[in-house]
Amino acid sequence: MSYLERIYTQTGPLKGQVYRVAETQEKSATTDIVDTAEEQSRLEELLEESKPPYTHTDRGLHYLLKTPFRYPPLRYGSRFGRVFEKSLFYGSADTQTALVETAYYRLVFVRDTTKPFPRPVKSHHTIFEASVGVEKGLQLQSSAWRDVRDQLTHPSDYAFTQALGGEMREAGVQAFQFISARAVQVGLRAPDAEDRAAGKSKSGLNAVGLNWGVFTPKAFRRRQPSNFRPMIAVTTREHVSIVVTERDGTSTAAEFPADRFMVAGQLPRPAV
């Protein structure tokens, strides 16, 4: 059976909550280079005009939900997408996994500079929640995909997953779940873990260590995200500290040493 045939046989209804982290620094960053509110407004208009237009299927969606779908052109691919394909909305099935993914990309950012930052980099973010519900969904963490789990969770080789992403598009998959390679690296989820009763989410799935990929804005059950929580990350080349302020005013902290993400002493590169 080909992978495309397997996709067709495994596709079915899928719903759940998606957690995504967005940076909140763009507006404050542009404020630093203008003098008045009028200049600020015009600069933001120019920045918006420089980006690809939204599609008609995005109308009515909150910008945090529709923005990922406005590309290509893309400078880089992703785990399940290539530069010439329409971009996906990625998120995680629980907050903890979303923080793991954020920590990895903060490390990539800090380590990608030719000249090291002189002090820890503090960044402001928002973590939010969205509802997804589709008739054509796929669960790549299921036993049906056990034979290719190493390829699905490889920390730095994306050839297999990008090809599979193309086949999912061809099969009309609207959204899918997959094991987070970064969650496997830090020990949050075993790569061969199966969904069991313990730790299952409201959707009946063991959400810890899972990510979502969404191919179409039509997959969102609600047009507005919810459960907004401010988040601060402090990153050095060796470590990421994250603090999330919960809605009740309490704080949740998470620490991620860089060596948890290393492979042969190197930080794996994101997809290209």
pLDDT in tens, the chain (272 residues): 999 999 999 999 999 999 999 988 544 444 444 455 555 445 444 444 445 555 555 668 999 999 888 877 678 899 999 999 999 999 999 999 999 999 999 999 999 988 889 999 999 999 999 999 999 999 999 999 999 999 999 999 999 999 999 999 999 999 999 999 999 999 999 877 765 433 344 444 578 999 999 999 999 999 999 999 999 999 999 999 999 999 999 999 999 999 999 999 999 999 98
CB atoms within 10 A of CB 258: 19
Residues 6+ apart with CB under 8 A from 133: 13, 14, 15, 219, 221
- Does the residue 120 lie in any domain? yes
- Does the residue 78 lie in any domain? yes
- Does the residue 155 lie in any domain? yes
- Does the residue 195 lie in any domain? yes
- Does the residue 145 lie in any domain? yes
Burial (CB count <10 Å: 0-12, 13-18, 19+), residue 114: exposed
| pLDDT score, position 31 | 42
| pLDDT score, position 203 | 44
Q: Is the dihedral of CA 272, 92, 213, 27 positive or negative?
A: negative
| pLDDT score, position 70 | 82
- pTM assigned to the model: 0.86
Q: Would you list the DSSP string of the chain?
A: --HHHHHHHH-EEEEEEEEEEEE--HHHHHHTT-SSHHHHHHHHHHHHHTSPPPPGGGTTS-HHHHGGGG--S-SS-BTTB-TTSPP-EEEESSHHHHHHHHHHHHHHHHHT-SS--SSPEEEEEEEEEEEEEEEEEEETTSGGGGGGHHHHT-SS--HHHHHHHHHHHHTT--EEEEE-HHHHHTTSS-TT----STTB-TTSSB-TTEEEEE--GGGBSSSS-EEEEEEEEEE-SSEEEEEEE-TTS-EEEEEEEGGGG-BTTBPPPPP-
Residues 6+ apart with CB under 8 A from 192: 146, 149
- Does the residue 270 lie in any domain? no
- Does the residue 267 lie in any domain? no
Q: Which domain holds residue 179?
A: 3-261
- Does the residue 63 lie in any domain? yes
Inter-CA distances, 74 with 64, 68, 84, 100, 272, Å:
18, 11, 7, 24, 10
CB 151 within 8 A of CB 160: yes
Number of domains in the chain: 1
| pLDDT score, position 48 | 47
